[in-house]
Amino acid sequence: MPATFKIHAPAHAGNYRLNKSLILSRLSGLKLETTPDFVIEDTKSDEYLKLFPTGTYPGLVSGDYKLFDSSAILSYLASKIPESPLVGQTAEESALILQFMFFAEADIMPQLAAVLYPTLGYSPYIKPAVLQAEGRLKKSLLALNTILLDRTYLVGERLTIADINMVCDLVPVMQYLADAKYRKEIRNVARYFKTMINKKVFKEVFSEFTLCVEPVKQQQLKKAEPKPVKPKAEKPKPQPKKKEVEEAADDEPAPEPKPKSALDLLPKSSFNLEDWKRFYSNNDTIPTAMDYFWQHFDPVGYSIWKVEFKYNEENTLIFMSNNLVGGFFNRLERARKYAFGVMLTMGVDNDNIIGGYFVIRGQEIPFEIYDAPDFESFSFVKVDHTIPAVREEIGDYFAWEGKSLPKPFADGKAFK
């Protein structure tokens, strides 16, 4: 009996992840079963998580065999086609195919997600982070542009799964970001993409695709709609006796609820931290956001601290250093109402440092911060914001770029 392949994923025409397998299926005649009624919310169901604990889609099931990740599924399905040129005809071609698939998934797609998800409102929009991701995405596309200077296909003289994977991953770029001006800067990529997307098999699968006319603009953060809750039938409360009513009337007023933090007892500040966080997220940092910050900053109600990782000599890979910052931020959740900060990873793999600045309510490090398990791994030094060099450095750190950074910017996170 021939193997059956069932792919769990939303089956709309714009699903570029699923479309990788659908294109392969049309080219090879390999039979696939799709899930037309599948919706993204299904990835959170117990049934789906039992199959694919990562909760990602598409997910492929073939008998007892389960596989997630669109590129892995594409490669696996192609391997089921006897003597297929789609997977390369030599070991060298096969390695080049993997090279370009890894390049698309590791270099292009993470930066595309870091631009599109916040811009389309699926994650918080932090302008410096989006701008950095835009720059990195452009750098990867320019590299691809050089590679495609004298090529019709990525590997050899015929279509391979490297092309299927790359073209599908480029669809969101060409649909949402790369307008005519952008496409001129990556003209070889644009020529390659147009050639492929207009092939019959691609055109049929991406039936609703249109090239970008104007880059997508920032949209409101989408909030999940709460599920309707059935009101519970309330039991009738017994009427109080006359004596109880009289006693209650004589009671003193209920005490005010205790503040959740000692910081709530501080005199009210003229600096609205939440307003600053919103302004920072939605405007260019230099000069717009920093002009706003220095105009509104209250040095009595808030203090500014330079924060550095104490063990920078132990840092290895950039992504690991940045993950370390992310873990620290996660453990500062109780301080989110009282603090704002930017921490950058600067340098290169095996030679990088972590540093940044925090704006904190009050004049001391509060319990909400020093109680974090890894607080002791960071030094917090209060700075004098009236010193011009300090103000400039704070601006550069908040902007994730600038001449006062001790090493070239590599990655960063904002605590807001």
Q: What pLDDT, in 10s, does the model give residues 332-390?
A: 999 999 999 999 999 999 999 999 999 999 999 999 999 887 888 899 999 999 999 99
For residue 131, pLDDT over 60 is answered with yes
Question: Which pLDDT tens digit goes with each residue over 28-40?
Answer: 888 989 998 888 8
Torsion (CA) 341, 345, 370, 275 in degrees, nearest 10 = 10
Buried b (16+ CB within 10 A) or exposed e, 38-60: beeebbeeeebeeebeeeebbbb
Q: Domains of the chain by range and CATH?
A: 269-415 (3.30.70.1010)
The mean pLDDT of 149-170, rounded to a whole number, is: 94
On whether the pTM is more than 0.75, the answer is: no
For residue 241, pLDDT over 70 is answered with no
- Find the farthest-apart pair of alpha carbons in the chain and give their distance in angstroms, rounded: 95
Distance, CA of 104 to CA of 171 (rounded, Å):
12
Q: What are the angstrom distances between the C-alpha of 278 and each of 3, 17, 31, 342?
A: 53, 33, 50, 14
Q: What is the pLDDT of residue 262?
A: 87
Task: Give the residues across from 67 on adjacent strands.
Answer: 60
Q: What is the pLDDT of residue 124?
A: 83
DSSP state of 288: I
Q: What is the pLDDT of residue 338?
A: 96
The mean pLDDT of 206-230, rounded to a whole number, is: 75
The mean pLDDT of 240-254, rounded to a whole number, is: 48
Q: What is the pLDDT of residue 179?
A: 94
Q: Considering only CA atoms, which of 75, 104, 86 is closest in space to residue 169?
A: 104
Per-residue pLDDT band at 229 (split at 50, 70, 90): low
For residue 249, pLDDT over 80 is answered with no
| Helical segments of 152-302, H only | 161-172, 180-185, 187-197, 200-205, 242-250, 273-282, 290-296
What is the residue-averaged pLDDT of the chain? 88
Q: Considering only CA atoms, which of 280, 271, 267, 282 is closest in space to residue 357?
A: 280
Interaxial angle between packed helices 161-172 and 187-197, expressed in degrees from 0 to 180 and rounded to the nearest 10 = 110
Q: What are the angstrom distances between the C-alpha of 254 and each of 59, 117, 248, 258, 268?
A: 56, 47, 11, 12, 24
| Helical segments of 148-219, H only | 161-172, 180-185, 187-197, 200-205
Question: Which pLDDT tens digit goes with each residue over 304-336?
Answer: 999 999 989 989 999 989 989 998 998 899 999
Q: What is the pLDDT of residue 218?
A: 83
pLDDT above 90: percentage of residues in the chain: 69
* 69: CB partners within 8 A, 6+ apart: 56
Distance, CA of 185 to CA of 357 (rounded, Å):
36
**Locate tokens 């990195």: which residue?**
136
Sequence-distant contacts of 46-55: CB under 8 A, at least 24 apart:
48/8, 51/8, 52/8
E strands present in 16-80: 59-62, 65-68
